[in-house]
Structure 1
Amino acid sequence: MESSVQPASSSTLYRSRITAIGSYVPERRLTNADLERMVETNDEWIVQRTGIRERRISAPEEYTSHLCIGAVQQLVDRYGTMLEDVDLLIVGTSTPDFAFPATACRIQAHFGMKQTTSFDLSAACAGFVYGLHLANGMIASGLHRKALVIGADALSKIVDYTDRTTCVLFGDGAGAVLLERDDSDASNPQFIAYTGGTDGTGGAHIYRSLLADHMEGSPVNTNGKLVQNGREVYKFAVQTIPKGVNDLLSQTGLSTEQIDWFVPHSANLRIIDSVCEKMGIPMERTLHTIEKYGNTSAATIPLALEEAVREQKLKDGDTVLLFGFGGGLVYGGLLLNWKAISPKV
């Protein structure tokens, strides 16, 4: 089959925009009261330190691919979107169904997308922002026209429910957006600026070991469960996010007062509080889902975006700042000029 994508000339730069969004979370709720019966903890301790009240947990035979399919199906149902001509599919996840094939391949098969470059992206909790940045660049280059970007994780599959420092934090969910070439107004792009970086020396602060039994010469836990040094991740986040935001603002000449909505990775409400205080961004201009979903890793940002779209908080022309960070240690921030999307049903 011949590809419909034509190579771009060296002088051509295309624009892309988000045209549809969907989300999915499992039915089962794991509340703080439930956790009190599992480990030595209590609701007050969890809420004070994390802001989380409950999280969603996938069924025993429900995996990351199922969460992705649920999010994409909602996108299709709500926006009447056709997927047959999607030519790029990126799934940001740390919990793929298999080491290979990629979770993205299972999504491609389910929806019958015929001519699609499909792969998983491993950037932990920054996976969705990384995926959006990559998809936008691929469309801008002219190599692709229509991309499906998904952030999804089934962290309950890899959490140690005897470790109260981690099991209270994590939940399962997925969010998906459709990104399409936008030729309507080249002078008014949706994607304004990007910043990102890596500090690989902090890899031991949050990891899941599958094969290796050491990192930088130090032994690591090899039981396949998620391990996190919360104190170090907190320090990384509150130091890195303000610097990254300032980089985005310096690129564009904007100020924090001109950011209409801040959408950080929902790792912990204390992190969000601290970062917002440092940057002077009011919490009422911050979108997150931490209280009811917990930390869903790559899914937190699209879950918050989808909820804001559904509740009609995001308005045409709003300046929206996405910022993901996580295991690696990695971070990525995107500044968007929001363009309204309207459900068909």
Structure 2
Amino acid sequence: MTRKHASLIGWGHYAPENVVTNADLEKIVDTSDEWIKSRSGIERRHFVSEDQATSDLSIEAGRRALEMSGVAPEDVDLVIVATSSPDYLTPPVSSQVQHGLGCVNAGAFAMMVGCTGFVYGLVTADQFIQTGAYKTILVVGAEVISKNLDMTDRTTCVLFGDGAGAVVLQATDAPCGVRSFELGSDGSQAEALIAPCPGTRNPVSQYAVDNRTHYLRMDGRAVFKFATRTMTESLQRVMGKAGVGVDDVDLFIPHQANARIIEYAAKTLALPPEKVVMNVADYGNTSAATIPIALSEALTAGRAEAGDTLALVGFGAGLTWAACLFDLGPLVGTARASHEATEATSGDGATVDSVIDDRGVVDGLIA
């Protein structure tokens, strides 16, 4: 049997209409626009309304990706949703998304790998297509972080936002898709980024609520060090597996957690600015949604074309990381992309420690 390849034929993203600026946050927590921008590069983020949940964002992003691809919902074989903020502990949010999109013939499952989730999902989908098990797969990365933020903790509440991005992969004989990848985990640092409750270790209780353990907690300095090391080293290993160098990468799409982390990685890898996608200023850290949103915006803007090689790198809770080189095949959705874009509303060679000190990245505002 001829090996199949995964062609990216459609993409889309969605962020809630409610935009929260740094100036808005100044009114509710001890912070400032300058303080946030200088340490993270974030200027604004999107928060859901009270009646919106992760499935709503996922369905909208998925709908846009399917429309761009020209694939009918009933022709989708599998739906993969990467998220750490599902609507409920059970049922899985993937089934809600599958139903909401009308993918009546698709299987569906969710992946909880933190901010790394979309790359894990993309690699998994590529494997299903390579084996011939499935022909058409929708991969979604989505998060609603705002409802799990302690708005009195300035080290976390200013960093995160809500959003969703999605891609449609379809089997083809033309060489494209994931060329090489690495999926990694270091559970020894699990508590560096954690929401302690609810779960079987710390179930819902009055004690948990009184002690605010149901909110996200982060050791920003630990995550920053982990991210700057793993992003560059992982991508270097993935390029080594593929036998390519930095010059062969046409577009670098990293996890959008912090502008300083992205700048450090780009400089270490000697990537010129025109090859680096960075939109953290507009969305903040949307966890599993950052890479698909950045990918969707980049493709819509024409920053990549058929035959280009994308480098996707993520890191997040676990602590986990993932990197892959993805070769673009014919971009079926390109003609539709310009139309959707029209209508859319929506340092030096320093060490990690010296980057932290020189830039004054303190108080955990670094991941």
1:87 is matched by which residue type in structure 2?
Answer: D
Alpha-carbon shift at residue 309 of structure 1 (Å): 1.2
Please list, as runs of the form range in 1=range in 2, the aligned pairs for 1:244-283 lying within 5 A after superposition: 244-283=234-273
Return the offset for 1:12.
Answer: 5.0
1:124 corresponds to which residue?
Answer: 114
Q: Does 280-289 or 114-123 show the bigger shift?
A: 280-289
CA offsets, 1:229-256, max 9 Å, x none? 1100000011111110110111122111
Gaps of at least 5 residues in structure 2 are 340-367
The question of whether the paired residues in 2 share the 8 Å contact of 1:197 and 1:332 is answered with yes
CA contact (8 A) 1:288 1:301 kept: no
SS of 1:84 mapped into structure 2: helix
Q: Which residue of 2 aligns with 1:329?
A: 319
What corresponds to 2:191 in structure 1? 204
Aligned partner of 2:361 in structure 1 is none
Equivalent residues in 2 for 1:33-112 (5 A)? 33-112=23-102
d(CA) in 1 for partners of 2:305 and 2:149? 37
Identify the range of structure 1 (276-285 vs 328-337) with the bigger mean alpha-carbon deviation.
276-285
**TM-score, scaled to structure 2:** 0.86
CA contact (8 A) 2:73 2:101 kept: yes
- Separation in structure 2 between the aligned mates of residue 299 and residue 195 of structure 1, nearest angstrom: 19
CA distance in 1, matches of 2:126, 2:105: 18
RMSD after superposition: 1.6
The answer to which structure has the higher helix fraction is 2
| 1:302 partner letter | P
Q: Could you list the runs of 5+ residues in structure 1 that have no partner in the other structure?
A: 1-10
Whole-angstrom distance in 2 between the partners of 1:109 and 1:98: 15
Structure 2 distance, partners of 1:79, 1:90, is 17
CA contact (8 A) 1:128 1:150 kept: yes
Partner amino acid, structure 2, of 1:169: L
Higher alpha-carbon deviation: 138-147 or 95-104: 138-147
How many percent identity over aligned positions? 38
Matches within 5 A, 1:1-345: 13-183=3-173, 185=174, 188-209=175-196, 210-211=198-199, 212-213=201-202, 223-339=213-329, 340-341=331-332, 342-344=334-336
Larger deviation: 162-171 or 137-146?
137-146
Task: State how far apart, in whole Å, the 2-side matches of 1:176 and 1:343 are.
Answer: 18
What TM-score do you get using the length of structure 1 for normalisation?
Answer: 0.91
CA distance in 1, matches of 2:94, 2:295: 21
Q: How far did residue 213 of structure 1 move?
A: 4.3
Change (3 A) 1:275 1:43: same
Is the Cα–Cα contact under 8 Å of residues 88 and 144 in structure 1 kept in the other structure?
yes
1:79/1:343 contact within 8 Å kept = no
Do 2:182 and 2:238's aligned partners in 1 also have CA atoms closer than 8 Å? yes
